[in-house]
Amino acid sequence: MAQATTRDTATAILDTAERLVQQRGFNGFSYADVAAELGVTKAGLHYHFPGKAELGEALMTRYAERFAAALAEIDERESSAPAKLRAYAALYGDVLNARRMCLCGMLAAEYETLPPGMQRVVVAFLDANERWLARVLESGRRERSLSFDQPPADAARLIVSALEGAMLVARPFADAGRFEAAADGLLKSLER
């Protein structure tokens, strides 16, 4: 029973910290913020995550695993490349609709101030997304459902950059419609 409670506490810590990072950034919250929200001591947080760097790595690792599972679900559910790209963009839109930002995007904005371990996990997350998108783009080009001039890896970087940027620009306006219009325009430009 104690093991389940320990796991539940660690999950609650990660859930709270993830929300705080998505709203404020990694440098915009402290262990005291998490402890206050959960009604635990800072020592209790340190029991599960010895330092903020370890917490950040655990956050990003968990986020990357969930995102990879979402991409696998898209692959299973959608057959056409354009539908996969739309489902991918919807992942970003869903986060924005929850009044949050992409965890990786928030961390990328703070990249220079992150511990090296977190920097590696952020880069690995972006690389994995770009590889998945490049495969989808190449498939769409072969099927003739997508059209673009650059190599698939370059088009994948453009998509990630545009979606992350569209989230950032929509945020101050609290208007997910701005994001959706940008994402829709980008994806339409790739469809035949």
Q: Please, what are the domains in the chain? A: 53-190 (1.10.357.10)
Among the listed residues 183, 35, 154, the one whose alpha carbon sits nearest the alpha carbon of residue 95: 183
Nearest to 58 by CA among 146, 100, 118: 118
Interval 46-70: pLDDT, tens: 999 999 999 999 999 999 999 999 9
The identity of residue 94, as a single letter, is: D
Section 28-42 average pLDDT: 93
- Cα distance between residue 175 and residue 87, in whole Å: 20
What distance in Å separates the CA atoms of residue 150 and residue 168, rounded to the nearest whole number? 25
What pLDDT, in 10s, does the model give residues 174-188?
Answer: 999 999 999 999 999
pTM of the model: 0.90
For residue 3, pLDDT beyond 50 = no
